Amino acid sequence: MSGSASVPVAAGQVVWGTPAARWMLTAMVLGSGMAFLDSTVVTVALPAIQGDLDTGLAGLQWIVNGYMVTLSALILLSGSLSDRFGRVRLFMVGVAVFALASALCTFAPTLEWLVAGRVIQGVGGALLTPGSLAILQAGFHEDDRARAIGAWSGLTGVASAVGPFVGGWLVQIGDWRLIFLINLPIAAAVLLIAWFKVPESRDASAARRLDYNGALLGVVALAGITYALIQWGAAGGTPTVWTAVAVGVLALAAFLFAESRSTAPMLPLGIFRSLPFSVTNAATVMIYGSLGPLLFLLVIYLQEVSGYSPVAAGAASLPITVLMLLLSARSGRIAARIGPRLQLVVGPLLLAAGFVLLSRLEGDAPYLTGVLPGVLLVALGLSTTVAPLTATVLASVPERHAGLASGVNNTFARGAQLIGVAAVPVLAGIGGSGGEGSEAQGDTSALAAGFGTAMLILAGLCVLASLCALVLPRGRMPEASEAADRGSLPEETSALEPLDHEHPVRFCGVSGPPLRSCPGSTAGGSTDGPSA
């Protein structure tokens, strides 16, 4: 594969409203939307998978976390890979890997095969989701990039919103395997459009050395810690669990050491010298570390304990996505006028209040009075928080590090969801055993008993996130260059330009904070090399 074929317009020259623009946007929305859709439909199908494969809660945790392990660890490497090898080429590789993994999930005979497919899906998702953003930034003319990215983020947000309906409908009319099978025709269409209609681009000056060691150590660290947490709930503190703890912790220490010594690190540790950046990422970990377990446990609780259909259970959390799509932009404008501190204090407290309400949920409670009030508070809390959270992350670093900062924030959010889904059920006393039908029934009983405790744990995390925000300065956030002059950033960044406000960050789903650009990529910048 040498690049795209039959492309009439060069990268960087695609103009909004032209056929070339429509083809490019269609391919990028379908590709990344496929990944966003998959992340929501899988959650809705978990009870059906549990019944078919006769697994317990631990198996369901692995179905969710298998995807998140590789996605979280590799997303920071994707931009550098695409700059070096070609953005369209890497995007197509990601789509192909995602499709092949979806086929494996479709025909998986056992839980182990299904988890393996999810792990491989995470690799594809790490390549295609940020890669689609890089292609838009490199392909569209600079006057039209903001409009293209806005359309991309809005349409992929819609994919996240319709996911629960699609997943629930497919489970009800047929089989849970259909949620993976639908990815195959979508992927085929994306590959055809990308090959024939999307112009290739790369950065001729991209670094030749890539941080493969960091990526590998990141996967091992996340996998070891996740395995230990899930298996602790399933089997207790066995020698295998303690071995996984040791492997995960040692891999994490080795990752930090390698990043501190690398000449081209995937995660430059110096970026954390900015206090606002570090504090905001700590708040991100707690907020998304609570959101992941909520979405995981609520849909299972509503189906297994309350008797909801898959469609109804999936739709129960729809207000979160809808309100974020409607209110996040306004929230960002308010934060730009008054500063992010107030919203980053109040927003997590609204989240905590929503979790407290959900902790009182009874199995036979009607949706309008039992579920909806808590979900609405969670939605309002996220709508209040996410835009200023992302803006603070970007304002805390120089412009040339904005893509990296956005990628780090997104990675922290996904990693926090990964750890949250593994740890919160253990802390709440919800069973994680699997392998026998009776044990799966025991998981349901434990879920009914421990759901309220889990929600209170999540409320506590959000209160801690609110306390983190108190460290931020009052008033508007200084630009990165101003902050550097005061010494809160590394000295080498003090002369860099402030953030470009003509390209606002837009919300693109509840799976993580919005990406401003492809992490590690120079797409859309002046250093882009000629199109291939």
Range 308-333 average pLDDT: 84
Structure tokens at 437: 């039908």
Range 122-127 average pLDDT: 90
Structure tokens at 332: 């960002």
Range 437-454 average pLDDT: 75
Which amino acid appears at position 326 of this protein?
A: L
Contact 231, 225 (CB under 8 A): no
Closest Cα to residue 21, out of 148, 143, 183? Answer: 148
Range 489-508 average pLDDT: 40
Given a cut of 90, whether residue 460 has pLDDT beyond it is: yes
Please indicate whether residue 182 or residue 39 has the higher confidence score (pLDDT): 182
What percent of the chain is helix, strand and coil (3-state, nearest 5)? Answer: 75, 0, 25
Q: Rounded to 5 degrees, what are φ and ψ at 245?
A: -60, -45
Range 105-134 average pLDDT: 91
Dihedral sign for Cα 493, 497, 498, 499, please: negative
Given a cut of 70, whether residue 2 has pLDDT beyond it is: no
Given a cut of 50, whether residue 27 has pLDDT beyond it is: yes
Helix (H) or strand (E) holding 112: helix 111-139
Tokens 């996130």 found at: 465
Given a cut of 60, whether residue 255 has pLDDT beyond it is: yes
Strands (E), 268-421: none
Contact 53, 306 (CB under 8 A): no
What pLDDT, in 10s, does the model give residues 335-375? 878 888 899 999 999 999 999 999 999 888 898 999 999 99
Given a cut of 50, whether residue 531 has pLDDT beyond it is: no
Contact 488, 49 (CB under 8 A): no
Residue 495: predicted pLDDT: 29
Residue 314: predicted pLDDT: 84
Residue 491: predicted pLDDT: 38
Q: Rounded to 5 degrees, what are φ and ψ at 265?
A: -70, 145
What pLDDT, in 10s, does the model give residues 50-95? 888 888 888 899 999 899 888 888 888 887 888 888 888 999 999 9
Mean pLDDT of the chain: 81
Residue 444: predicted pLDDT: 77
Given a cut of 90, whether residue 129 has pLDDT beyond it is: no
Banded model confidence at residue 378, pLDDT cuts 50, 70, 90: very high
Phi-psi region of 307 (alpha: psi -120 to 50; beta: other; left: phi over 0): left
Residue 175: predicted pLDDT: 85
Given a cut of 70, whether residue 461 has pLDDT beyond it is: yes
Closest Cα to residue 505, out of 273, 317, 345, 335? Answer: 335
Residue 191: predicted pLDDT: 95
Given a cut of 80, whether residue 526 has pLDDT beyond it is: no
Percent of the chain whose pLDDT exceeds 70: 85
Closest Cα to residue 167, out of 178, 156, 157, 158? Answer: 178
Structure tokens at 509: 């789903």
Range 417-436 average pLDDT: 77
Structure tokens at 331: 């929230």
CA distance 90 to 397: 28
Banded model confidence at residue 232, pLDDT cuts 50, 70, 90: confident
Q: Rounded to 5 degrees, what are φ and ψ at 14?
A: -75, 125
Residue 186: predicted pLDDT: 93
Range 484-501 average pLDDT: 37
Dihedral sign for Cα 453, 458, 462, 464, please: positive
Range 440-466 average pLDDT: 87
Residue 301: predicted pLDDT: 92
Tokens 């660890």 found at: 73
Range 123-136 average pLDDT: 87
What pLDDT, in 10s, does the model give residues 151-168? 887 787 777 777 778 888
Given a cut of 50, whether residue 514 has pLDDT beyond it is: yes
Given a cut of 60, whether residue 179 has pLDDT beyond it is: yes
Residue 475: predicted pLDDT: 62
CA distance 119 to 117: 5
In this predicted structure, which of 33-42, 216-225, 378-387 has the lowest mean pLDDT?
Answer: 33-42
Residue 524: predicted pLDDT: 67
Residue 515: predicted pLDDT: 73
Contact 152, 25 (CB under 8 A): yes
End-to-end CA distance of the chain: 12
Residue 20: predicted pLDDT: 85
Closest Cα to residue 72, out of 80, 61, 64? Answer: 64
Q: Hey, what long-range contacts does 252-260 have (CB within 8 A, 24 or more apart)?
A: 252/217, 252/221, 252/225, 254/217, 255/214, 255/217, 255/218, 255/221, 258/211, 258/213, 258/214, 258/217, 259/211, 259/214
What's 14's DSSP letter?
B
**Residue 177, SS3?**
coil
Banded model confidence at residue 208, pLDDT cuts 50, 70, 90: low
Which amino acid appears at position 429 of this protein?
A: G
Given a cut of 70, whether residue 11 has pLDDT beyond it is: no
Range 308-317 average pLDDT: 87
Residue 193: predicted pLDDT: 93
Predicted TM-score of the model (pTM):
0.85
Banded model confidence at residue 442, pLDDT cuts 50, 70, 90: low
Residue 63: predicted pLDDT: 92
